[in-house]
Structure 1
Amino acid sequence: MAPKRSSSGSVAQSAKGHGGKKKHQNNVENGSATVSAPETVQDKATNAVMEKEKKKQNFIVRTVWTIVMIAGFFILLAAGHIWIMALVTAIQILTFKEVIAVANEPAREKKLPYGKVINWYFLATTIYFLYGESVVYYFKQVVLVDYYLLPFATHHRFISYMLYIIGFMIFVSSLEKGHYKFQFAQFAFTHVTLLLVVVQAHFIMNNIFAGMFWFFLPASLVIINDIFAYLCGITFGRTPLIKISPKKTVEGFVGAWISTIIIGMILSHFLIKWKYMICPITDFSANAWSGLACDPNPVFVKQTFAVPSFLVPLLHRKTYEIEPIHFHVMVMASFSSLIAPFGGFFASGLKRTFQIKDFGDTIPGHGGITDRMDCQFLMGFFSFMYYDSFIATHHLRVGSVLETAIQSLTLAEQMQLVSSLHKYLYNQGYITDETLECLEKIRS
């Protein structure tokens, strides 16, 4: 009996084994088994081709849009200051939109009232204040003599403050129980974004008022540095620079610094020969073909400098003539290479915080506006501060005199000032007797 049980058990096991093999064979035939080795290789090859095609398409899109952006930028640059100012304003608003959208995603889920409205209200208030300050400062002779603009010019800061207070009251009124911490975090994030994006971008606007050179050169230095940081990094980059951006290398960082200084000085050599670039804005209708003229800032005029004693044997001369702007370009190029990139590192840290690849898809193949402008804001702010501290010629403006006369003198004193000025011009032979007599009749 035992051998029989053993025999039947063996048969059963054998049948089970054959049944398992047959089942496995059926599964293979039906395609339910693991893919064979040749199929795996084929899939890998297909995936590689698809990935290569995807990279090729992305490269084409990126290249086309790079050309479009460069061409569009130079068209606006030649069209005039007002178009470049419109471009900066658009970039300012779009960057704010992209950054705020990153933090606003949870707000949509919580369905909190007025969150988006408050953000845009604070943006509008900030732009009104900053742009108004610039217009009043640079165009006092226009806004202070206009009947309708005068109240806005003289009370601009008070109006801006009251607009902010209204927004503050709306925010406080929108606070909901259980969401206080989140709402105050959003409020703080909005103000930090306004400071880092809108306020810094506004100083780029002031650079345009000072002359197109102070807008174009700093922006170009950042682009030049970015290009050469990439080229130097892939050529001989070995040492990691900063943990937040693992692909950045010390060699690329230093190589880009040297390259930016050299190319920046060459670029400035050609730019200073063009009055359209170096003249401050006096007319919004000016463009590259309008024949803009001015007395150039002393930094654009050649001056004689003593050659350091240790370089005399090499240069065979004791003095050298050069425009001082080239020394300033070296400083600006150093900032764009050594400090401005930290704006990009800051943006990278922010993206990692919110676990996103790009701030948006505004520019096909390039991501969002913020991804392209993160270093430009820092550079633009520095350029204004450097220009205002070391280069600007602070002389008395017509607008400043007019502002003092309007705000500090009575009507009788203003008439006396005008009469005295007319008498001076009459004595110099610039106005006629009839004009002077007419003025005296008005006074009387």
Structure 2
Amino acid sequence: MPAKRAAAAETVAVGAPSTRSATKKKNAANGQSGGSIVKTTADPPAPTEREKKIQNLIVRTIWSVVMIFGFFALLAAGHFWVIALVFGLQLLAYSEVIALADEPMRQRALPYGKTLNWYFLASTVYYLYGETVLYYFEEVLLVDKVLFPFAIHHRFISYMLYIIGFMMFVSTLEKGHYQYQFMQFAFTHVALLLIIVQAHFIVKNIMAGMFWFFLPASLVIINDIFAYLCGITFGRTPLIKISPKKTVEGFVGAWIWTVVIGLALSYFLVQWPYMICPPADFSLSAFSEFTCTPNPVFVKQVYAVPAFLQPLLHRPTLMIEPIHFHVAIMATFASLSAPYGGFFASGIKRAFGIKDFGDTIPGHGGITDRMDCQFLMGFFSYMYYSSFIATHKQAVDVVLATAISGLSSQEQVQLVHALQRYLHNQGHVGKDLLQCIAN
């Protein structure tokens, strides 16, 4: 027995080191050292491309819902808030575009470059909006002694503001940077033309009636959605090199769907006076009572049905609003021409080597990425409306501005008396008011 115990002890003694060695290896594999347990924090695995796409889709969807609800809330709040929205969007878009030149400008240590960009913006905004705002405040707040000189000489003041900016730019030219500085000068003016000036006409559309703002904007959104859906469904033929993912099939399919949905949308919008009436008061909202004499395009008219369609419609005539014919044309522009505003923006991004103009909207990029087609569509809508739809009646503020700036005080009094007599003869005012004015 002693011999057996000695042999066993020897065997254990010999096997112990190998056992301890195996235990150490096992502990090392499990992140342990010796007899103690050491916890280590491993880096989480990098998200796969699929996980990134899903996460981006979730963020994009959430912000899409937020933007939709925010847009309709401002739309219901009234014309003033929609104008404020357009004004804010154009400022953000302009800031994103001119920011593309900020880094090269800092590297070259050029003075006043960013300041000049904003100065030209301020002078442009004053020229586009100044006269209307001045006359509005003069009429509502009666501060004519302060604002009257600015209203009378508005265009001259605007021109001189631009000349001052022009002189400031020439004064900052530095040797060795001439080409770059003149390129930035041209870049700033292109941004002003394509963003600020076109957004100004969107504001004019709002003043003509919410219909002329909401419908064009909706047509662009509808076209963008169906261009994507039709493109991924049966798109095969590339459309344009600057945007390789755009296809001819998606382009044409989106055109058809935009016309169809645009016609259906206009059918409902023409039933709502808030949409078709110009704003008589900025304090009104979608919940206020709107009354106006509608533009003739919103009044139903009788049209003869073509012979080949009569068996399908079972009637020789059809009574519809003429606006639907105009909507088909606007939908065609939104489908075939407005997307080139997006292609133009894509070219700018490729030229500067960026994916988006900014990250203002999570999951969507910058404001410019969402508004590139809207500016072009808004300008077209104004030109189309003023050319084919507007009745070309003089606005009250225009007549008032002409009377204030073009008539003497005595002539203005004569105009008031003549207008009062006319209104009395038409039965709109009483004799007592006429005598009161005369006295």
TM-score range, shorter chain: 0.7 to 0.9
Listed as ranges, the matches of 1:193-272 within 5 Å are: 193-272=191-270
2:158 alignment partner, one of 157, 160, 172:
160
Distance 1:236 1:106 in 2: 43
1:69-218 paired onto structure 2 within 5 Å: 69-135=67-133, 146-218=144-216
The 1:428–1:349 alpha-carbon spacing in structure 2 relative to 1, beyond 3 Å, is closer
Give the direction of change, closer, same or farther, for the CA distance of 1:321–1:119 in structure 2 (3 Å limit): same
SS in 2 for 1:390: helix
**Residues 135 and 151, structure 2, Cα contact 8 Å, conserved in 1:** no
- 1:402 corresponding residue in structure 2: 400
Counterpart for residue 413 of structure 1: 411
Give the residue type in structure 1 aligned to 2:290.
L
**Residue segments in structure 1 that go unaligned for 5+ positions in a row:** 1-45
Instruction: Please give the alpha-carbon distance, in whole angstroms, between the structure 1 residues aligned to 2:433 and 2:321.
Output: 46
Q: Bigger shift: 409-418 or 372-381?
A: 409-418
Q: Match for residue 381 of structure 1? A: 379
Identity value in percent:
71
Aligned match of 2:362: 364
Cα distance per residue 1:89-113 (max 9 Å; x no partner): 1110111111111123210101110
Aligned partner of residue 294 in structure 1, secondary structure: coil
Residues 429 and 59 from structure 1, CA distance in 2 versus in 1: closer, same or farther, beyond 3 angstroms?
A: closer
Q: Distance in 2 between matches of 1:368 and 1:57?
A: 18
* Contact 1:130 1:202 (C-alpha < 8 Å) held by counterparts: yes
More off after superposition, 379-388 vs 398-407: 398-407
Which residue type is aligned with residue 363 of structure 2? G
What residue number does 1:332 align with? 330
Aligned residue type for 2:403: A
Which amino acid letter does the alignment assign opposite residue 96 of structure 1?
Y
1:60 Cα deviation (Å)? Answer: 1.4
Distance 1:329 1:130 in 2: 28
In the other structure, the counterpart of 1:67 is 65
How far does residue 274 in structure 1 lie from its aligned partner after superposition?
A: 0.8
Q: CA deviation at 1:215?
A: 0.5
- AA aligned opposite 2:181: Q
1:329-350 C-alpha deviation (Å, 9 max, x unpaired): 1000000000100111111111
Whether the 8 Å contact between 1:141 and 1:398 is mirrored in structure 2 is: no
Structure 2 contact 301–322 (Cα < 8 Å) conserved: yes
Would the aligned equivalents of 2:349 and 2:355 in 1 still touch at CA under 8 Å? yes
Cα distance 1:251–1:421, how it changes in 2: closer, same or farther (>3 A)? closer
How many Å separate the matches in 2 of 1:283 and 1:275?
14
Contact 1:209 1:280 in 2 (8 A): yes
> Which amino acid is the alignment partner of residue 385 of structure 2?
Y
Give the letter aligned to residue 103 of structure 2: E
- 1:318: Cα distance to partner? 1.9
Paired AA for residue 170 in structure 1: M
Where 1:309 maps in the other structure, the secondary structure is coil
Distance 1:79 1:322, change over 3 A: same
What is the distance in 1 between the residues matched to 2:205 and 2:326? Answer: 15
Q: Displacement of 1:291 after TM fit?
A: 1.1
In the alignment, what sits opposite 1:314? Answer: 312
Provide the C-alpha distance between the structure 1 equivalents of 2:429 and 2:249, rounded to a whole number of angstroms. Answer: 68
Question: How far is 1:78 from its partner?
Answer: 0.5
The 1-side partners of 2:142 and 2:303 are apart by 44
Change (3 A) 1:96 1:115: same
Contact kept? 1:136, 1:143, Cα under 8 Å:
no
Structure 2 stretches lacking a partner, 5+ long: 1-44
Distance 1:143 1:298, change over 3 A: farther
Tell me which amino acid in the other structure corresponds to 1:361. Answer: D
Secondary structure of the corresponding residue to residue 293 of structure 1: coil
- Residue 153 (structure 1) shift: 2.1
2: distance between equivalents of 1:148 and 1:54? 58
**TM-score (norm: length of structure 1):** 0.84
SS of structure 2 residue aligned to 1:305:
strand
Paired with 1:428 and 1:319, the residues of 2 have a C-alpha distance of 39
Alpha-carbon offset, residue 431 of structure 1: 5.4
For 1:318 and 1:437, locate their aligned partners in 2 and report how far apart those are by CA, in whole Å.
Answer: 58
Counterpart residue number, 2:389: 391
Structure 1 residues 430-439 or 279-288, which shifts more? Answer: 430-439
* Local SS of the residue matching 1:273: coil
Q: Which residue identity lines up with residue 251 of structure 1 in the other structure?
A: E
> In structure 1, how many angstroms separate the alpha carbons of the residues matched to 2:128 and 2:78?
21
Q: Which amino acid aligns with 1:59?
A: L
2:49 corresponding residue in structure 1: 51
Q: Letter of the aligned partner of 2:352 in structure 1? A: F
Q: How many angstroms does 1:137 deviate by?
A: 8.5
Structure 1 residue 405 displacement after superposition:
3.0
1:436 to 1:273, Cα distance in 2 relative to 1, 3 A: closer
C-alpha distance in 2 between matches for 1:301 and 1:136: 35
Cα distance in 1 between the residues matched to 2:391 and 2:297: 10
Residues 53/154 of structure 1: CA separation in 2 closer, same or farther (3 Å cut):
same
Whole-angstrom CA distance in 1 between matches of 2:426 and 2:56: 69
What's the CA shift for 1:258? 0.2
How far apart are 1:136 and its partner, in Å? 6.6
User: Relative to structure 1, is the Cα distance of residues 433 and 80 closer, same or farther in structure 2, using a 3 angstrom cutoff?
Assistant: closer
Please state whether the residue corresponding to 1:148 is helix, strand or coil: helix
Q: Residues of 2 paired with 1:348 and 1:433: CA distance?
A: 66
Aligned-residue offset at 1:281: 1.6
Residues 436, 109 of structure 1: CA spacing in aligned structure 2 closer, same or farther, 3 A cutoff?
same
Secondary structure of the residue aligned to 2:48 is: helix
Q: Which whole-Å CA distance do the structure 1 matches of 2:208 and 2:184 have between them?
A: 36
**C-alpha contact (below 8 Å) 1:143/1:153 kept by paired residues:** no
Q: Which amino acid aligns with 1:366?
A: H
Quickly say closer, same or farther: Cα 1:145–1:405, change in 2 above 3 A: farther
* Cα distance, 1:83 vs structure 2: 0.8
Amino acid at match of 2:373: C
User: What amino acid is aligned across from residue 82 of structure 2 in structure 1?
Assistant: I
AA partner of residue 76 (structure 1): L
SS in 1 for 2:292: coil
